[in-house]
Amino acid sequence: QKEVEQNSGPLSVPEGAIASLNCTYSDRGSQSFFWYRQYSGKSPELIMFIYSNGDKEDGRFTAQLNKASQYVSLLIRDSQPSDSATYLCAVKDTGGFKTIFGAGTRLFVKA
Amino acid sequence: DAGVTQSPTHLIKTRGQQVTLRCSPKSGHDTVSWYQQALGQGPQFIFQYYEEEERQRGNFPDRFSGHQFPNYSSELNVNALLLGDSALYLCASSSLQGSDEQYFGPGTRLTVT
């Protein structure tokens, strides 16, 4: 059973701090990795995707991928109260078409 | 550019009934995936449709079935509803010709009583 693991949190950070969210996956052959943000009662919103080892930056968000360690992370710089949400890590299944999601990490940014 | 749309927004059904949920993909997308999200969980893959065929199915019983139309829109049907089918049902679209990114619709909240 291929899995994606995340710390459920909640992770609480003060406004302006860096929030660090982590994810591990079991399928060593996975090539595509995604971070979604989900506000309470809403659907997931794609915020980052990464396919190569290393860092990928987009505004205040940085995704980091280490395929050897089967580890993906998301850094949110200058965290804002509006960043308070559940962050879902998702991994594309090798050889198939489905995307496997973690259970999500709840982030609270305190003003 | 229209995003993914789903209908209805909310639905209340009784055990044993049948339900049909609908999805229209983002403009330019040809692939539709359906997910079930229970409270406090991540989305669970139900199945994916491309070219009007089911390409892959997750670990869901045959009570869950689907269809894709020539205009790429899709339906999810659930028969013999159980209380445990209460969840947020999400449709996500993507393009076979593009990257692997999927974009979700607003979801349908199904409550089975």
Per-residue pLDDT at B66: 97
Sign of CA dihedral B88, B91, B100, B57: positive
Cβ of residue A39 closer than 8 Å to a chain B Cβ = no
Query: Which of A1-10, A18-27, A85-94 is predicted with the least confidence, judged by mean pLDDT?
Result: A1-10
- Whole-angstrom distance, CA of residue A98 vs CA of residue B9: 24
Task: Give the pLDDT of residue B2.
Answer: 79
Q: Which residues of B touch A46 (CB under 8 A)?
A: 101-104
**pLDDT of B99 over the 80 cut:** no
Give CA–CA dist A80/A4, Å, rounded.
Answer: 27
CB contact under 8 A, B42 and A43: no
Chain B partners within 8 Å of A92 (Cβ): 100
Q: Using CA atoms, how far apart are residues A106 and B54, in angstroms rounded to an integer?
A: 33
Per the structure block, which two tokens stand in for B79?
């028969």
pLDDT of residue A96: 73
- A85: enclosing H helix or E strand: strand A85-92
Average pLDDT of span B16-34: 96
**Span B47-60, pLDDT tens digits:** 999 999 999 999 99
Percent of chain B with pLDDT over 70: 96
Tell me the three-class secondary structure of chain B, residue by residue: CCCCEEECCEEEECCCCCEEEEEECCCCCCEEEEEEECCCCCCEEEEEEECCEEEEECCCCCCEEEEECCCCCEEEEECCCCHHHCEEEEEEEECCCCCCCCEECCCEEEEEC
Whether A1 shows a pLDDT value over 80: the answer reads: no
Task: Name which residue leads in pLDDT, B100 or A107.
Answer: A107
Task: Say what the pLDDT of residue B1 is.
Answer: 66
Q: What is the mean pLDDT of residues A77-101?
A: 94
Q: What's the pLDDT tens digit per position in A29-50? A: 999 999 999 999 999 999 999 9
End-to-end CA distance of chain A: 40
Measured between CA atoms, the residue of chain B closest to residue A6 is B42
pLDDT at B109: 98
For the stretch A18-29, what's the b/e string if a residue is b when 16 or more beta carbons lie within 10 angstroms of its beta carbon?
A: ebebbbbbebee
Tokens of B31: 């692939």
Q: What is the pLDDT of residue B4?
A: 97
Question: Which chain B residues in 1-30 lie under 8 Å from chain A, judged by CB atoms?
Answer: none
Residue A84 banded pLDDT, cuts 50, 70, 90: very high
Strand pairing category for B87-94 and B74-78 = unpaired
